[in-house]
A and B are shown apart, each in its own frame.
Chain A
């Protein structure tokens, strides 16, 4: 296994790891808020569940990035490429957008969605507004995912 390949695998691991940590934090925070509402009014479970799901997507984007990267370098399929150090750095850097933005945006999306749970608790008919506000944060995770994918597929092996 070359040093380049190790760097690329490290990048893939970071993408899944950091975005996953962010999502776990975000989903956990909204879950706490949602549990508070459901403990008082169980009928609001389905509405708050949607909000709780929102910060979970960054973890999926991280996973997707990791799979695409591992597939591109041949680790998935058992035919790993002999990567140079500069190619390895290229893959490592390609993973960073979704790893870092995924981590931060998931936490912030969790905070926004937890505040949205408050809207659902007081005015259930305005639940959609809480969802839209939380979804706005998602934009930046999608942009980061896009950049990571573009980079992964534009590195010459």
Chain B
């Protein structure tokens, strides 16, 4: 689709970007003493309008002439919801409370489709994984293994969809998301001394970080993995991961935001819409961190250190 088709959507998104929180707003929030003070600061920025990822997605969907390319942004939620539905089925619980929104899936139809093994009712990108994970989970009752399978399938589906879309932005987004997930998984596996077969299921691999090398490195323990990463273009990430997983998580969010920043100069196309969604995600995460840290009495400097990069 011609990028010119997005002229209306991009202009509307540009106007909406004005209501995203700036660095000075975050500083005010960090310095605010009470929750009501924080609520007032946020309300003064964007009024009483609801600001959740679901509402942001609905807005983007309303403006975008074609959402197919942007749906990749929700794949993580889709696969989370698949895992939630499968586990609820095994545990005999209602899955609704475990679902994450926004999602590309029809959540009312997900559980019944899985229960009836009618996988063809599911969207193409999760169909095969749903069947495979269901079979694995019922056969082994190993939730962790089924989770790993779904997580890896999610990354593969993102890469495949991004490749199909032809969007460089989405390709890079899928690759960075995969790299972050792979490093995190490989590190956990190395710490827990997981077996090769498990690590091979759990690590996806990408053009940026080869799967086999990552599996081999994580079999050598966390030290081996970190020294392997030091020799890749993710040396910074390795150093942060060695310091603390929280710092690595921040690095992951920040590299995605750096990618989003490249779309700030684009006047047309779907990239600015995707960037706005990423910006909203980061902002909501920052608000959550501030809220939790304030409740637990965390020092201001530590809260500032944990703040994710902003889009505006």
Contacts from A to B (Cβ < 8 Å): 29-30, 32-37, 39-41, 44, 111, 114-115, 117-118, 121-122
Task: State the majority secondary structure of interface residues on A.
Answer: helix
Q: With the chains together, A118 CA to B269 CA distance in Å?
A: 13
Q: With the chains together, A44 CA to B11 CA distance in Å?
A: 12
- Given A122-B17, A122-B18, is A36 in contact with B9 using a C-beta cutoff of 8 Å? yes
Contacts from B to A (Cβ < 8 Å): 4, 7-18, 63, 267-268
Most buried by B among A29, A34, A40: A40
Contact A117 B4 (CB under 8 A): no
- B-chain residues with CB within 8 Å of residue A40 when the two chains form the complex: 12, 15-16
Contact B268 A121 (CB under 8 A): no
- A-chain residues with CB within 8 Å of residue B14 when the two chains form the complex: 37, 117-118, 121-122
Q: Which residue on A lies nearest to B10, using beta carbons?
A: A118
Number of A-B contacts (CB under 8 A): 60
- A-chain residues with CB within 8 Å of residue B18 when the two chains form the complex: 41, 121-122
Identify 10 residue pairs between A and B in the complex whose beta-carbon atoms are under 8 Å apart, listed by A's number: A33-B8, A36-B9, A36-B11, A39-B12, A44-B15, A111-B4, A111-B267, A111-B268, A114-B267, A122-B17
A29-B7, A33-B8, A122-B18 given. 4 additional CB < 8 A pairs?
Answer: A33-B7, A36-B12, A44-B15, A121-B17
CB < 8 Å neighbour of A36 from B4, B10, B17: B10
Task: State the majority secondary structure of interface residues on B.
Answer: helix
- A-chain residues with CB within 8 Å of residue B4 when the two chains form the complex: 29, 111, 114
Q: With the chains together, A36 CA to B15 CA distance in Å?
A: 8
A151 to chain B, nearest CB (A): 33
B16 to chain A, nearest CB (A): 6
Contact A37 B267 (CB under 8 A): no
- B-chain residues with CB within 8 Å of residue A41 when the two chains form the complex: 15, 18
State the 9 A-B residue pairs at the shortest beta-carbon distance, nearest first: A115-B267, A36-B11, A36-B12, A121-B14, A40-B15, A33-B11, A36-B8, A121-B15, A32-B8
Q: Which residue on B lies nearest to A48, using beta carbons?
A: B11
B270 to chain A, nearest CB (A): 14
A24 to chain B, nearest CB (A): 14
Q: Which residue on A lies nearest to B62, using beta carbons?
A: A39
Q: With the chains together, A117 CA to B4 CA distance in Å?
A: 13
- B-chain residues with CB within 8 Å of residue A118 when the two chains form the complex: 10-11, 14, 267
Q: With the chains together, A12 CA to B13 CA distance in Å?
A: 42
CB < 8 Å neighbour of B7 from A32, A39, A44: A32
- A-chain residues with CB within 8 Å of residue B17 when the two chains form the complex: 121-122
